[in-house]
């Protein structure tokens, strides 16, 4: 069976993402594959290329032929040079700088704002505020009803005395 290492397209329109797969040469582009050996996201800056070097070396060793786009990826990662015994096996893969974690950014912002107010910056939920306002209004209404009932009862007691 003729085996190829090729790209299987994933993702949305205009947001291509690929799997690097080993498949029978006769299968269609997005058809069944034998093994998934990596991923390639060309839209990211720099492009994300993650290929399992050990599995790529195995499949190249047993005769799998890479397609042209996969051959370019294997040259970037250095797997093709390693397979052919050429120099430059470390590859020319660019790695994106690590972004600082959200926790680190938060702690840094806290340190910068150390001289600022120490109160919490939490606002009350609108539902709670509405419920409290309704409860307050109900308490006032109950108090006014009691006051009106007590005034009515005092008027009744005065009219009974007369």
Query: Does the residue 103 lie in any domain?
Result: no
DSSP-derived 3-state class of residue 52: coil
- Whether 22 and 59 have beta carbons less than 8 Å apart is answered as yes
Domain span including residue 36: 3-84
Task: Report the C-alpha gap between 24 and 21 in whole angstroms.
Answer: 10
Inter-residue contact 43 to 16 (CB < 8 Å) = yes
Among 84, 108, 137, which residue terminates a domain?
Answer: 84
Contact indicator for 40, 49 with CB cutoff of 8 Å: yes
Q: What is the DSSP letter of 29?
A: T
Do 74 and 135 lie in a common domain?
no
Q: What is the rounded average pLDDT for all residues in the chain?
A: 82
HSE (CB half, 13 Å, CA atoms) of 47? 17
Dump pLDDT digits (tens) for 96-143. 778 888 888 888 888 888 755 555 656 656 677 777 888 888 888 888
For residue 108, being part of any structural domain is answered with no
Q: 19 and 69: one domain?
A: yes
Asked if 51 and 59 touch (Cβ cutoff 8 Å), the reply is no
> Do residues 68 and 128 both lie within one domain?
no
- Whether 12 maps to a domain, the answer reads yes
User: Tens digits of per-residue pLDDT, 148-162?
Assistant: 766 655 555 555 555
Cβ–Cβ under 8 Å, residues 38 and 19: yes
Record the pTM: 0.58
7 and 80 fall within a common domain: yes
- Same-domain check for residues 12 and 79: yes
Q: Residue 17 belongs to a domain with what CATH number?
A: 3.30.1320.10
**Whether residue 10 sits in one domain with residue 65:** yes
50 in Cβ contact with 38 (< 8 Å): yes
- Would residue 115 count as lying in a domain? no
pLDDT at 6: 93
Write down which residue in 61, 84, 107 finishes a domain. Answer: 84
State how many domains the chain has.
Answer: 2
**pLDDT at site 96:** 72
């Amino acid at each position: 069976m003729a085996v190829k290492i090729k790209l299987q397209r994933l993702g949305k329109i205009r947001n291509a993402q690929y799997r690097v797969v080993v498949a029978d040469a006769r299968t269609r582009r997005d058809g069944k594959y034998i093994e998934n050996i990596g991923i390639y996201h060309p839209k990211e800056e720099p492009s994300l290329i993650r290929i399992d070097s050990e599995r790529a070396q195995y499949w190249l060793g047993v005769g799998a032929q890479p397609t042209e786009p996969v051959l370019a990826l294997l040259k970037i990662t250095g797997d093709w040079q390693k397979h052919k015994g050429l120099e430059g096996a470390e590859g020319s893969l660019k790695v994106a700088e690590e972004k600082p974690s959200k926790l680190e950014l938060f702690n840094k912002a806290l340190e910068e704002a150390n001289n600022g107010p120490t109160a919490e910056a939490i606002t009350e939920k609108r539902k709670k505020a509405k419920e409290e306002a309704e409860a307050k209004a109900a308490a006032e209404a109950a108090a006014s009803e009691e006051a009106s009932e007590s005034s009515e009862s005092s008027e009744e007691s005065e009219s009974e005395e007369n």
